Structure 1
Amino acid sequence: MDLRVRGDVPADPFLGAGDLFETEYDLELPVYVDVRSDPDERTWAAHYEDHHVLNISRQAATSAMARGLVVHELAHMARNEEGHASHHMKTEEALFLALSGESVERRKVAHCYQIANHMKDIYADDITLSVMPPAKLVAFLESELARAVATRPDPSPWPDSRRVTAGSDPDITAVNAAFALGLVERHDVVDRDHRIYDLAHAAADDAPGVDLDAFKRRFRTLGEDPSASDYRKALVDATRAYVVGDPGGDVAAD
């Protein structure tokens, strides 16, 4: 794998992540790593015809989580190269199908994009957890959820917010909690008395309109290699469940 770091940070976490990733997977296209100064940007991957770009904040690149974050983004790149439906479906297409005819607050639309990202993350982390021990990922999910629950923000909408964080809204925090539980149960990496369950239920208590267990099942049971139609339907159903309380199953995705 051709991985090139463009930024004044130690290369070891990136090279170590590449070595881990290559125990099971490989990428055909080169990967360019761009280190950003904004700590809130954290990490995200961009895909082009002849290369991938891994964007990462300097803070994340020098943190204890750096190697795991890089492996996660490499996993997104692998899903993109293999043509996985989750990484080639236009989110806007599914949202149009799900929300056609509905009047939806802007914050709710932003949350729907986060739900779509969670579904992509499930498939990326199926790879992540196949090449590295789960402890750091579980600790990361737990710490993010603990931070969100501890802040207990005002549940009123923030229409001018440009960024949806784990603690920005009780409803999406509950969905984030469901994602965390769905992921750890999908891979059976924690016991049922793990603290992450207490945190998740505390998040659910703050968002009575969100069905934590239902969203957990949605994330946990996503098919390993869905067709484009099946994946679209899963995303449409999840979106309607969040926005209008529709349990799903009857929405035509084609």
Structure 2
Amino acid sequence: MEIRVSGAGPAAPFFSARDVFEPSHDLDLPVDVHIRSNPDERTWAGHYDDHHVLNISQQAATSVMARELALHEFAHMHRHERGHPSHTLSMDEVLFLALTGREVEQRVLTHCYQIANHVKDIYADDITLSVGPTDKLRSFLESELAAAIADQPADRQQAGHRLTAGADPSMTAVNAAFALALLERHDAIPGDHRLYDLAHAAGQDAPEIDVDGFRRRFATLGPDPDESDCRRGLVDTIRTYADAQTTTTGPAAD
């Protein structure tokens, strides 16, 4: 597995991630790691005919999660190379099928893409959590969810519109469901963990979202779906979320 690192940042986390990844999995194509100075770029992967690209911010590359983030992206690359339908289906096609006949706000459309990415992340992290430790990820998910809940607005108009910037309550509730489902798939969370209390709080902030329902959807994703099953599951999950958003104020997207 060939890795080439460029940019102002440490190379060690990426080679360490490779050493953890390689005994069980491998990549056919080389990986170009680009460490970026812009912290808003965070971490994302690109796939090309002759290589993969891992873009990561300098802030993330120097964090305690650097190795785990690299492992996660390597897992996405592996799923892409092996043609897993969660990583090869056209998300534009999936959203078209899910939202036909519906008008949704732009923010809801953005959330639908995020939900599709959660499905990709579940399948990538089925690999990540099979080769790496779970403690850091569990703590990271707990911290992120707690921060999002703390960012909820204190006041809302009677119609339910946001008065202040911050985390969107509906998406925070889905994120809570995703976090629980991911850890439950790998028996990586005790029944009394604080994440369950946080997920309950997130659900109270967004009563239109069935947190437990989304948790079950994510937790029970089949390990080896064919393209039709994967498409059907994505369409149903995204449609469920869109239909839970009963207000359509502001610019809508078809």
TM-score (norm: length of structure 2): 0.91
Q: Does the CA contact (< 8 Å) of 1:9 and 1:61 recur in 2?
A: yes
Aligned position for 2:250: none
Q: 1:232 to 1:157 in 2, by over 3 A?
A: farther
Within 5 Å, which residues of 2 pair with 1:142-153? 142-153=142-153
Tell me the distance in 2 between the aligned counterparts of 1:70 and 1:170: 29
SS across alignment from 1:35 = strand
Counterpart for residue 191 of structure 2:
192
Task: Figure out how many residues of one structure are paired with residues of the other and give that number.
Answer: 239
Partner Cα distance (1:238, 1:37) in 2: 36
Do residues 45 (structure 1) and 45 (structure 2) align?
Answer: yes
Conservation of the 8 A alpha-carbon contact between 2:149 and 2:167: no
**Pair 1:118 & 2:118 matched:** yes
Residues 1-254 of structure 1: pairs in structure 2 closer than 5 A: 1-153=1-153, 156=161, 168-245=167-244
CA distance in structure 2 between the aligned counterparts of 1:28 and 1:115, rounded to whole angstroms? 28
Structure 1: which amino acid aligns with 2:198? L
* Segments of 4+ moved more than 6 angstroms: none
Q: Report how far residue 245 of structure 1 moved.
A: 3.9
Deviation string 1:25-46 (CA, Å, 9 cap, x unpaired) is: 0000000001112212211110
Query: d(CA) in 2 for partners of 1:217 and 1:40?
Result: 32
Q: What is the SS of the residue equivalent to 2:174?
A: helix
Task: State the TM-score, normalized to the length of structure 1.
Answer: 0.91
Q: Corresponding residue for 1:249?
A: none
> CA–CA distance in 2 between the matches of 1:99 and 1:124?
26
What is the DSSP-based 3-state SS (H/G/I as helix, E as strand, rest coil) of the residue aligned with 1:189? Answer: coil
Cα 1:59–1:219 change in 2 (3 A) is: same
Q: Please say if residues 47 and 53 of structure 1, whose CA atoms lie closer than 8 Å, have aligned partners that are also in contact.
A: yes
Q: What per-residue deviation string (whole Å, max 9, x for no partner) do you get for residues 41-88 of structure 1?
A: 211110000000001000000000000000000000000000000000
Evaluate the alpha carbon distance shift between residue 95 and residue 32 of structure 1 in structure 2; reply closer, same or farther with a 3 A threshold.
same
Q: Can you list the C-alpha shifts for 1:146-196, whole angstroms capped at 9, x where unaligned?
A: 1001111367369xx9xxxxx520000000000001111111111110011
Structure number with greater CO (CA < 8 Å, separation at least 6) is: 2
Identity of aligned residues (%): 62
Counterparts of 2:161 and 2:191 in 1: how far apart (Å)?
A: 32
Classify the secondary structure of the residue corresponding to 2:209: coil
Unpaired stretches in structure 2, ≥5 consecutive residues? 246-254
Give the Cα separation in 2 of the matches to 1:37 and 1:89: 32
Provide the C-alpha distance between the structure 2 equivalents of 1:48 and 1:168, rounded to a whole number of angstroms. 33
Q: State the one-letter code of the partner of 1:60.
A: A
Q: Which residue matches 1:250?
A: none
Q: Is the 8 A contact 1:2 1:30 kept in 2?
A: yes
* AA aligned opposite 2:232: K
Q: Is the 8 A contact 2:8 2:36 kept in 1?
A: no
| Counterparts of 1:13 and 1:100, CA distance in 2 | 44
Mapped partners of 1:156, 1:106: distance in 2: 14
Matched residues in 2 for 1:168 and 1:113: separation?
16
One-letter amino acid of the counterpart of residue 44, structure 1: W
